[in-house]
């Protein structure tokens, strides 16, 4: 039985004061009896240290939204995995579609980051997903297969069990149009089959695959309780304590 993982990707939202407000709100609204569900908060870099500090004593883990694959040096604007760990991060989102779309990140580049995160002891949440155009061209399977193979290149079975994959159809991100539970389950099954091909069935069964794309309080339960959906990567709905806590509750409530 895989645990469910709910991660909130705050993106470029919430300054210092708002970070405190949101985490205080979550402390009040989330039932800390999480029944094994993992909850991760991923604020912007500038709020990570504060978030780690005020989340102490709560079940919330902290994650970065990106990192570079070098330890230090002349890489203006970048942040290293060691720096993330140093401010209390256990997780890091890698290969988000916005990084691919606006900052030109490729599967090969993301793969280098995934390897580095694992080597540093961070758990990467690695994103894949097709665009609307690709879905309409009926090439979702091809696109997602290429991405998964690319981001996991030369990663061992032992390491693949440590990371989290997030299937995030680009057309569902921030659009209010979520994949139906059936559409999500279909792609998650495809990814798990691919993992079985690459790493064997036992390993594939253990890998956590989150769904992301317009997950909200009112659609979370149906998405989260698909057999191969092991949690959610949440954007917009994680920015308010009540909506994020309702999603967490949907993951903890037995269906
Ligand atoms: C995301 O950015 O990873 C995401 C899923 O966003 P939203 O929930 O707003 O669609």
Query: How is 165-209 classified by DSSP, letter by letter?
Result: EEE--GGGTTTS-PPPHHHHHHHHHHHHHHHHHHH-HHHHHH-EE
Whether the per-residue pLDDT at 254 is higher than 70: the answer is: no
Q: What percent of the chain has pLDDT over 90?
A: 98
Q: 129 C-alpha to center of ligand 1: Å?
A: 12
Atom of ligand 1 lying closest to residue 212 CA: 5
For residue 36, the model assigns a pLDDT of 92
Q: 75 C-alpha to center of ligand 1: Å?
A: 28
For residue 192, the model assigns a pLDDT of 98
Please give the backbone phi and psi of residue 180, each rounded to the nearest 5 degrees, phi first: -70, 160
Using a cut of 0.75, tell me whether the model's pTM lies above it: yes
> What are the pLDDT digits (tens) for 95-150?
999 999 999 999 999 999 999 999 999 999 999 999 999 999 999 999 999 999 99
Whether the per-residue pLDDT at 53 is higher than 70: the answer is: yes
Q: What is the mean pLDDT of the chain?
A: 97
- Residue whose C-alpha is closest to residue 38's, from 224, 243, 236, 228: 224
Q: 212 C-alpha to center of ligand 1: Å?
A: 6
For residue 253, the model assigns a pLDDT of 82
> What are the pLDDT digits (tens) for 159-209?
999 999 999 999 999 999 999 999 999 999 999 999 999 999 999 999 999
Residue to mutate, 91, 214, 246, ligand 1, most ligand atoms under 8 Å from C-beta: 214
Atom of ligand 1 lying closest to residue 234 CA: 8
Average pLDDT value for residue range 222-244: 98
Q: 68 C-alpha to center of ligand 1: Å?
A: 22
Whether the per-residue pLDDT at 255 is higher than 60: the answer is: no
Atom of ligand 1 lying closest to residue 178 CA: 10
Whether the per-residue pLDDT at 18 is higher than 70: the answer is: yes
Quickly state the pLDDT bin for 1 (edges 50, 70, 90): confident
CA-closest residue to ligand 1 atom 8: 235
Return the number of other C-beta atoms located less than 10 Å from residue 136's C-beta.
11
Candidate list 98, 105, 130, 168, residue with the active-site label: 168
Integer distance in angstroms from the first to the last C-alpha of the chain?
A: 15
> Are 134 and 140 within 8 A, CB to CB?
yes
Ligand 1 pocket, residues with Cβ under 6 angstroms:
9, 168, 173-174, 212-215, 233-237
Quick check: is 186 catalytic?
Answer: no
Quick check: is 168 catalytic?
Answer: yes
Separation of alpha carbons 187 and 34, rounded Å:
27
Separation of alpha carbons 110 and 69, rounded Å:
9
Residue to mutate, 5, 7, 9, ligand 1, most ligand atoms under 8 Å from C-beta: 9
Atom of ligand 1 lying closest to residue 93 CA: 3
CA-closest residue to ligand 1 atom 4: 235
Separation of alpha carbons 54 and 60, rounded Å:
10
Q: 13 C-alpha to center of ligand 1: Å?
A: 13
Please give the backbone phi and psi of residue 124, each rounded to the nearest 5 degrees, phi first: -80, 140
Average pLDDT value for residue range 67-89: 98
> What are the pLDDT digits (tens) for 83-108?
999 999 999 999 999 999 999 999 99
In b/e form, how buried is each residue of 1-11, taking b as 16+ CB within 10 angstroms? eeebbbbbbbb
Give the C-alpha distances (Å, rounded to integers) separating 128 from 73, 250, 254: 29, 24, 28
């Amino acid at each position: 039985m895989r645990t469910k993982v709910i991660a909130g990707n705050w993106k470029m939202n919430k300054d210092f004061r708002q970070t405190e407000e949101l985490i205080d709100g979550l402390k009040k609204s989330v039932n800390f009896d999480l029944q094994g569900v993992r909850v991760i908060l991923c604020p912007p870099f500038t709020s990570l240290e504060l978030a780690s500090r005020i989340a102490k004593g709560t079940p919330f883990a902290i994650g970065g939204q990106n990192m570079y694959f070098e330890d230090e040096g002349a890489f203006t604007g970048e942040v290293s995995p060691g720096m993330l760990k140093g401010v209390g991060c256990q997780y890091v989102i890698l290969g988000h579609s916005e990084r691919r779309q606006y900052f030109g990140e490729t599967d090969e580049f993301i793969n280098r980051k995934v390897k580095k995160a694992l080597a540093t002891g961070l758990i990467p949440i690695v994103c894949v997903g097709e665009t609307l155009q690709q879905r309409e061209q009926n090439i979702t399977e091809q696109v997602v297969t290429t991405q998964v193979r690319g981001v996991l290149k030369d990663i061992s079975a032992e390491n693949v069990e440590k990371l989290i994959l997030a299937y995030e159809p680009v057309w569902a991100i921030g659009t209010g149009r979520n994949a139906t539970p059936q559409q999500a389950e279909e792609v998650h099954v495809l990814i798990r089959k691919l993992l079985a091909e690459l790493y064997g069935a036992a390993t594939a069964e253990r890998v956590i695959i989150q769904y992301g794309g317009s997950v909200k309080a009112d659609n979370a339960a149906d998405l989260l309780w698909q057999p191969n959906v092991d949690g959610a990567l949440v954007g917009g709905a994680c920015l308010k304590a009540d909506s994020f806590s309702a999603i967490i509750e949907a993951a903890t409530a037995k269906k």
